[in-house]
Amino acid sequence: LIYAAAALGIFSNFMLSLAKPNQYYQIFLTQALGMGTSMGLSWSISMAVTAAHFKRHRAWAMGLVSTGGGLSGTVIPIMMNRLFYSIGFGSAMRAHAGMNAALWISAALLMSMPRELQKKQASSRVKIHEVLVPFLRDGPYMMVTVGYAFRQVGFPKLTLLFGFIQLFSITKGFSSSFSFYTIAILNGSSILGRLFPNYFADRFGVILTVIPFTFAMSITMLSFLAAHTPVSFALVCATYGFSFGAFFGLLPTVLASLARSPSEVG
């Protein structure tokens, strides 16, 4: 699966560089469908592999892996903004795709499941209903899954804020130069949020750690309405980014903590 995800992601990334102006369907096919499917597969597989390798410090390890998303979200917007103005959209996207290809291939080659789990999976073949039925009967797992689905559908702005924070900053009257770096502030602070709370989750429990950060993320989002200066807006961005990073980094760990065996993770 990781090889298929990498191949689809690399192909979609390069095809995006060929998208023509005013051709929405081209961007939808490459970025939304192609990249979305690839990133979803890559994320779930990487989290499953990490959870399978680490038992004692699982939350810390999974949080460390998830920091890559915050790091790329900090560096790539700045890099692409400069490349768009210097070499154009097509060449900039091909440079971006080449960098992603190198990272994807490296990750695919370095990733592997523990040997004992590989032997167990190879020796036993189960039908799909034998896998799904126990999950559907698992009350805590279903509550977490339904809750997260409700958050995604009912409160999409908690995630979409990363895509529209710059526009929101401009509509509040802040300069375009300041607004450009708000996305870097969000993602940069999310690196710390993905890292440190996961460390304490191994000590105090994943559920007890993720709950306060979930409330903090929601409350901080309302604080954007009261931010009327660049300094206050940047502080709210940093606080929200940290809370979101903690929530996003702990969520896979919550699901992994509910697994009854390593084979259920992923």
The percentage of the chain sitting over the pLDDT mark of 90, rounded to a whole number, equals 10
Q: Does residue 145 form part of some domain? A: no
Domain around 105 = 2-125+156-264
Distance CA 33, CA 20 (A): 17
Higher pLDDT, 136 or 123: 136
Contacts of 64 (CB under 8 A, 6+ apart): 194, 195, 198
Report residue 125: phi and psi, to 5°.
-120, 125
Distance CA 191, CA 184 (A): 11
Q: Does residue 85 form part of some domain? A: yes
Computed on alpha carbons and rounded to an integer, the radius of gyration of the chain in Å comes to 20
Domain count, the chain: 1
Q: Does residue 222 form part of some domain? A: yes
Q: Does residue 139 form part of some domain? A: no
Higher pLDDT, 115 or 16: 16
Distance CA 257, CA 266 (A): 12
Q: Does residue 72 form part of some domain? A: yes
Distance CA 101, CA 10 (A): 6
Read off the pLDDT of residues 53-112 as tens digits, 9 standing for 90 and up. Answer: 887 788 888 888 888 888 888 888 888 888 988 998 889 999 999 999 998 899 888 887
Q: Does residue 14 form part of some domain? A: yes
Read off the pLDDT of residues 4-45 as tens digits, 9 standing for 90 and up. Answer: 888 998 999 999 888 888 888 888 988 888 888 888 888 878
Q: Among residues 209, 220, 208, which one has the least CA distance to residue 244?
A: 220
Distance CA 240, CA 226 (A): 14
Measured CA angle at 82 (ends 88, 10), to 5 deg: 65
Q: Does residue 133 form part of some domain? A: no
Per-residue confidence (pLDDT) for residue 118, from 0 to 100 = 62
Q: Are 240 and 214 in contact (CB under 8 A)?
A: no
Q: Among residues 17, 40, 31, which one has the least CA distance to residue 98?
A: 17
The two three-digit tokens of residue 26, written as one number = 């081209």
Instruction: Say whether pLDDT at 123 is over 60.
Output: no
